Structure 1
Amino acid sequence: MRLLLSLAVLTLSLASVRADTPEEVFSKRIVPIFKSPNPSSCTQCHLSGVDLKDYIRPSHRETFLSLRDQGLVDLDHPEKSKILHLIDMGKDAKKATDIQQKNRTAEYEAFAAWVKASCADATLRTAPKLAATNLAKPAKPNEVIRHARTDRVMESFENTVWALRFRCASCHTTEAVEKRAKEKPLESLGANMAWIRPTAEETLAYLTKSRLVDAKNPERSLLLLKPLNDEIKHGGGVKFVVGDQGYKAYRSFVDDYAAVVNGMYAKSDELPKKLNVVQFGTQSWLKIQNTPPAWADKYMAVKLYAWDTTTKKWQANPVATTDRKVWGGGKLWQHNLTLLTTPDSADAKKWKTATPTLPGGKYLVKVYLDATDRLAKDWKAELSDDDFVGEAVVESQWPTGYGKMTVLDATAVKK
């Protein structure tokens, strides 16, 4: 009896040893991840381009060597391996679902146990390197994978749609809709009218879940078509024209978002060019009155340059810009300003949490006119020096509000 008990204990001990070998851990804990039809926890932080399965080969040996050769495993400190860090990156995300957190925990624990067991195997540690063609990694280059991260998508949204939301805020915030609902039935205002939510994160989540952004046909997104007030009527009238700053911002975002979620980017040179400028919409308005007949009903853009009191010159880069079509019948052009600065500037950091404002002072206003309607034919086109019609100096404290516009007479605009 004692002999049988001893044999049983020995058998259990041997089984435990075998279960701790890299092969056993890989078979029981990594292979199920590899074979699972469900996406990995990578999808919490990446909208496309990468999945944990991309790093797994059919055998435990090839998988370990592939990770080792790419610097994703720390042989001496397996618990500090980069592959574990990558899996664990989203653990503190506030918006992670219970399922995502559960998947991440299971993946992390499985890889941690297997990496630890593999790093303890001398034959694996010293095995020859795999051929480059046998390395397991995502098919997309790192630049494309990073571009599809949710934080990068949010950064793009903040500098496009969110930055220019003031063009739509008078009607489309939740507060504006609630106010209008007191005057007429809420259903008559449209199901998605209150699309501007209190934060950029909430707004992006709402837009991508509603029918306002069409990821399959981005150019057909209602977020673009409604403000044009052409093919689809818009209760607020014309807010965009094809090729203007608002249309460019919204269109560039929906096109990029669709390309990301549909995995359309294959190479880094296909990604949108990253501009070293960020935008912040304001409620400071500029009005140019008594516009000449040649400007009537044409798209017009202005750039504002600040006076540098140190150099006694106009600054080289514009600090604000805005655009709109000239109202020919009223001989009038007016719109609110969008401030421009660099991503790491003090202003950029301040304006992310505080109201963006243009300091009072003297500014050079440069005026550009799309006399040939070029932008309507190509929304990506930009006005150039050939479209310059003149400039004027204006001094203002830039008060905010539609009824407190800074006014410039068109007769003062000279080449």
Structure 2
Amino acid sequence: MRPILASLALLFSLAELPAADAPLTPEQVFDRRIKPIFQSPNPSSCVQCHLAGVDIKNYIRPSHTETFLSLRDLGLIDLDKPEKSRILALIEMGKDEKGAAAVHQANRTAEYEAFAAWVKASAADPALRSAPKLAADKLARPARPDEVIRHARKDRLVESFANTVWPMRFRCMSCHSEGSDQSKKFIAEFGDRVAWFKAGGPEATLKYLMDTKLLDAKEPAKSLLLLKPLNEAKHRGGQKFVVGDEGYKAFRRFLEDYAKIVGDKYEKAADLPPPLADEVFGTESWLKIENTPAEWSGKLLVVRVHAWDEKAGAWEAEPVATSDRKIGAGKPGTPGTIWQHTLTLRAAKGSDRAKAWRAGRPALPAGRYLVKVYVDGGGTLDRDWTATLGDAEYVGRAEVRSAWPTGYGSMTVVPAARVKKD
């Protein structure tokens, strides 16, 4: 009798189990495929595109029902076309990135397949589709607002790098530019680390720098990327920046922003740095001001170059090019020193000029230009590296006609004696 009862009990218990080929319930899919992602200590595929602020775990609640309702209420699930759900599109972002690490691709595939199966099963459940909305405090989302999340995207950081650090590469006389004759000479002496401006462009350069010790995310102002051109850390090329000059500002602003991004320091949109108004382009066009007055010696000299607007019959209000450099210290009380440096071109974002320079080789057209000169004689930038020299530092202007040839041996020259106040 006992064997018969045992057999009946086994039959009843098996009858309660789903058939081997029966589809899993949405909750079973969640428990088996989504919850392990939520509980994993490893970062998700989001880190491929985002440096901080977001992870797929941010969208998962502990329970199947709450997770689905949260995603539904956030507009991330398409009830009628679950395969078109935005959560799936977000997971797939970056799948076509060339050179992406295999671990990112593997994570993305696992996440996508898990969410696709679960979303499809859940969207077919009438009870879930018609369930009341969750309270706002029950919605699962990243702690940071969308503006901060977008700011921490790697492609946005590359764009920032391309508009700050990258245009300054010509200040380095090609020593750090991969493939240049000068860099090859130093590579033979110091190794490949010298050529950190990569031939692949801004993205390749930034990717390289992020894997080196040149960036200090904890103390950005102490980054070797900044200390070496200041000559505060041993630098074979000597001093290339002074505090507050164009190169220093570009590097420092990028480094400060980078450190706050990777440290997840931006909490709200108001914390983000203001966007730069101009697009910036480096060139190998040189400007020289020769026989500078003795009182300028050892000071930072800034030039702002304004183009002539033929239609308006006036100088453009905003400079089309800028440059700055410390004037070499000549003999006390004697003139005769020179100032010379490469020009950095500037154009309003989205302007025709910016588009043209972005599409080809940035260069000033031949023509008539006004060179305005400023000298930081009172240490304005020493006190505040973010300051902009103005009327107090203005020493004069000179008109010049030039085709702006490139190369150290083909400088556009302005005698300092022609620099006069208005």
**Structure 2 length-normalised TM:** 0.91
* Cα deviation digits, residues 313-336 of structure 1 (max 9, x gap): 111221111111122414211111
The aligned amino acid for 1:278 is: E
1:46-85 equivalences in 2 (<5 Å): 46-85=50-89
Q: Secondary structure of 1:414's partner?
A: coil
Deviation of the 1:292 alpha carbon:
1.6
The corresponding residue for 1:337 is 343
Deviation of the 1:377 alpha carbon:
2.5
The corresponding residue for 1:224 is 226
| Cα gap change, 1:178 to 1:325, in 2 (>3 Å) | closer
The corresponding residue for 1:373 is 379
The aligned amino acid for 2:245 is: D
The aligned amino acid for 2:417 is: T
Q: Which of 205, 208, 231 does residue 207 from structure 2 map onto?
A: 205
1-structure distance, mates of 2:182, 2:307? 39
* Cα deviation digits, residues 171-214 of structure 1 (max 9, x gap): 11233467654xx883x436621111102222111111111112
Unaligned runs of 5+ in 1: 1-5
The corresponding residue for 1:121 is 125
Q: Secondary structure of 2:341's partner?
A: strand
1:70-149 equivalences in 2 (<5 Å): 70-149=74-153
Q: Which of 167, 171, 179 does residue 167 from structure 1 map onto?
A: 171
Deviation of the 1:352 alpha carbon:
3.3
1:398-413 equivalences in 2 (<5 Å): 398-413=404-419
1:321-360 equivalences in 2 (<5 Å): 321-329=322-330, 330-360=336-366
1-structure distance, mates of 2:29, 2:204? 41
Q: Secondary structure of 1:166's partner?
A: helix
2-structure distance, mates of 1:350, 1:180? 32
Q: Does the 8 A contact of 2:183 with 2:195 survive in 1?
A: no
The corresponding residue for 1:3 is none
1-structure distance, mates of 2:20, 2:14? 10
Deviation of the 1:233 alpha carbon:
2.6
Q: Secondary structure of 1:352's partner?
A: helix
The aligned amino acid for 1:200 is: P
The corresponding residue for 1:265 is 266
Q: Which of 42, 46, 50 does residue 46 from structure 2 map onto?
A: 42
Q: Does 1:252 align with 2:253?
A: yes
Which region of structure 1 is more displaced relative to structure 2, 284-293 or 6-15?
6-15
Aligned residues: 406
The aligned amino acid for 1:203 is: T
* Cα deviation digits, residues 288-316 of structure 1 (max 9, x gap): 11212222211111111111111111112
The corresponding residue for 1:302 is 303
Q: Does the 8 A contact of 1:140 with 1:266 survive in 2?
A: yes
2-structure distance, mates of 1:274, 1:32? 40
The aligned amino acid for 2:102 is: D
2-structure distance, mates of 1:23, 1:133? 23
The corresponding residue for 2:370 is 364
The corresponding residue for 2:5 is none
1-structure distance, mates of 2:339, 2:378? 18
Deviation of the 1:75 alpha carbon:
1.2
Deviation of the 1:12 alpha carbon:
7.3
The corresponding residue for 2:398 is 392
Q: Secondary structure of 1:170's partner?
A: coil
Q: Does the 8 A contact of 1:192 with 1:212 survive in 2?
A: no
| Cα gap change, 1:280 to 1:185, in 2 (>3 Å) | closer
Sequence identity percentage: 58
2-structure distance, mates of 1:179, 1:241? 23
Q: Does the 8 A contact of 1:169 with 1:196 survive in 2?
A: no
The corresponding residue for 2:156 is 152
Q: Does the 8 A contact of 1:319 with 1:341 survive in 2?
A: yes
1-structure distance, mates of 2:183, 2:233? 24
The corresponding residue for 2:293 is 292
1-structure distance, mates of 2:307, 2:198? 33
2-structure distance, mates of 1:220, 1:380? 17
Deviation of the 1:73 alpha carbon:
1.0
The aligned amino acid for 1:358 is: L
**Structure 1 length-normalised TM:** 0.93
| Cα gap change, 1:128 to 1:15, in 2 (>3 Å) | farther
Q: Does the 8 A contact of 2:169 with 2:177 survive in 1?
A: no
2-structure distance, mates of 1:91, 1:180? 36
| Cα gap change, 1:174 to 1:31, in 2 (>3 Å) | same
1:27-38 equivalences in 2 (<5 Å): 27-38=31-42
Deviation of the 1:8 alpha carbon:
11
Q: Secondary structure of 1:163's partner?
A: helix
Deviation of the 1:385 alpha carbon:
2.7
The aligned amino acid for 2:220 is: P
Deviation of the 1:22 alpha carbon:
1.4
The aligned amino acid for 1:233 is: K
1-structure distance, mates of 2:104, 2:400? 55
Deviation of the 1:148 alpha carbon:
0.6
